[in-house]
Structure 1
Amino acid sequence: MPRYWECPSCRALLTRERLESTAGACPYCDARVGPPAEFADPDAPPAESAGRRLAPIAVPRTGAGKLAASLRLFFENLPLIAALVLMIKLPSNAAVELIAARQGGPTDPLANLMLKGVVDLFFGPIYAAAVLTIMADRMAGRPSTFLEAARAGIDAWGRVFAARLLAGLSIFLAGSLGILLRDLPPIIRLVLLIPGIVLAVRYCLVDEVIVLEHTAILDSRRRSADLVSGRAWRIVGAGAAALAIIGVVSVLVGETADRAGLLDGPLTRALCDCLLDVFAVFYSILLFLFYWEARAERESDVALDPALEDHPS
């Protein structure tokens, strides 16, 4: 009896436990791997197992539809997402604010932001990978647990960190002239930044291909660019709208917290930052939907013309 079964659609390697929990369906693309009777779990009551199944979700075709679906998925899984993000962000944000408060004098927002960025660089991949696992399970109609998602995030941490680092270095080098030559006129600097911006869009699905496809780290940028091809402007438009929504929410939360006096203390200030960090996951979910759509279309093309599998466009 084999230890792993290969999904005929997305080619994921699945254990018997995974297939028992989905009655023989792939948890990532919902394709049928085997008959339900072959993977029936004898220890789980059929009624309870069926009751835990959720209705699979189809990705909307339009950018506005994806924004709405992203918000729906975010709020539907809010307790689980918040627990995963706060697991990393709550202690790190509190530590940064306490360190800044102990230094005395006025707080430097830019220094705090850079320190939080360094923390997120090292530990952000954990909850990012966990959220992607939750989303993939949810699209297939399978609920996730905190322990499953956290374990998946920890397992993928090293690969996501390395892939992000390589992608970030490529983007920096492509736009380095616009970043480093600060004495040039703004319009010229913007033109010099364009190559870096282009690469940032092309590599925006690196996390997804690393976590959900187990793509090799060095191949993750090429795979991301392949999936982005043909939908780059849609990603830019929807992404800009999502960032605008996050910006509006940030301003509202900041003004409300300021009126309530919550920004005076380091711990309450850290808590407000955590709330914004949780809501920012909405942007990651939007990118995931673009990935899910691109992957489904790519697999459909391969099914129609198997030669594309060896010679992708």
Structure 2
Amino acid sequence: MMQKIREATRLLATNLVLFSSIILTVWLPGSILLVYLRLYVFPEATGGDELRMFTQELRVSNAIEFAFSPLYVGAILYAASRLKQGLQTTYRESMSHGARRSFTLLITRLGAGFIVFFGLIVFIIPGIILALRFALIDSVVVLDNVEGTSARKLSTMITKGKKWNILRTILLTFIGVFLAAFLMGFVLYLPLSFIGQDENFIIAVLSECVVNILLIIPTLVLFLFYWEAKSQQIAPQHEDNQ
């Protein structure tokens, strides 16, 4: 569990420029938009209602995530797979591959999402189990070039016996990311307290960007589960051929 978190963190740290460039292609303009709306639009539109402001910001953030995450997730997964093979890759090559698989990934995610949502409505536990079965569907779509039902079946197969380990690892990863984001936010905002300022546009954008870079780690953790499962499948086949 901790090994995958450490490896994902190391993979991000040693390739920080590449992974940051990929995710900030979407989330730098996205962060600028969100901060602008948070500081200058939503307070006036909601009369300062904090809950309504949060809800509206969440809607915009989710819309950006829904529309563009297949692009940058696909690019991150492609880059990670090349790096795990000891091969070099570039921003352009990674983004090109992500773009080619983005629509397929979006449609496959929607199909899996509807199934999980139905499972959660009927009974919560089956919905959680379905979500864990489909946890590696992004890697399957991007790296195995399958989609739809085939992607769901393959993700279910390679998560067999690993679902609860995946759940524990991802929960721990998000806790670590939250704590790291809180610490980085504190460091970034600390200078403002000395000048008696509560908010600053540039600091807020930087804070948003840092959080989105840290959120690459859960994506890499799931990729490492996929990579391990595929390696375990290949090893017996290689032994049989010998």
Is 1:138 the counterpart of 2:83 in the alignment? Answer: yes
Question: 2:36 matched to 1:98?
Answer: yes
* Closer, same or farther: CA 227–218 of 1 in aligned 2, 3 Å: same
Aligned AA (2:220): I
**Structure with greater Cα Rg:** 1
What is the CA–CA distance in structure 2 between the aligned matches of 1:225 and 1:151, rounded to whole Å? 28
Q: Which residue of 1 aligns with 2:235?
A: 300
Question: Aligned AA for 1:135?
Answer: A
What's the CA shift for 1:102?
A: 2.1
Aligned to 2:135, the other structure's residue is in SS state: coil
Greater relative contact order, per chain length (Cα 8 Å cut-off, separation 6+): 2
For the structure 1 residues 299 and 263, does the alpha-carbon distance in structure 2 shift closer, same or farther, using more than 3 Å as the test? Answer: farther
Q: Could you tell me how far apart the structure 1 residues matched to 2:174 and 2:87 are?
A: 29
Q: How does 1:197-216 map to 2 (within 5 A)?
A: 197-216=128-147
Distance in 2 between residues matched to 1:97 and 1:256, nearest whole Å: 18
Question: Corresponding residue for 2:124?
Answer: 193
1:16-27 to structure 2, matched below 5 A, reads: none
Partner residue, 1:221? 152
State which of 73, 77, 85 in structure 1 corresponds to 2:15: 77
Unaligned regions of 5+ residues in structure 1, if any? Answer: 1-62, 178-191, 307-313
Equivalent residue for 1:234? Answer: 165
% identity of equivalent residues: 24
Match of 2:179 in 1: 248
Q: Please, which moves more after superposition, 90-99 or 76-85? A: 90-99
157 and 263 in structure 1: CA distance in 2 versus 1, 3 angstrom threshold: farther
Aligned partner of 1:86 among 6, 20, 24 = 24
Gapped regions of structure 2 (runs ≥ 5):
none
Cα distance in 1 for residues equivalent to 2:73 and 2:146: 16
- In structure 2, the residue matched to 1:155 is 100
Q: Cα deviation per residue 1:191-217 (whole Å; 9 max; x = unaligned)?
A: x42121111111010110101000132
Distance 2:166 2:102 in 1: 25
- Distance of 1:167 and 1:305 partners within structure 2: 34
Residue pair 1:227, 1:291 contacting (<8 A) in 2 also: yes
State the aligned residue count.
230
How high is the TM-score relative to the length of structure 1? 0.69
In the other structure, the counterpart of 2:120 is 175
Contact 1:97 1:266 in 2 (8 A): yes
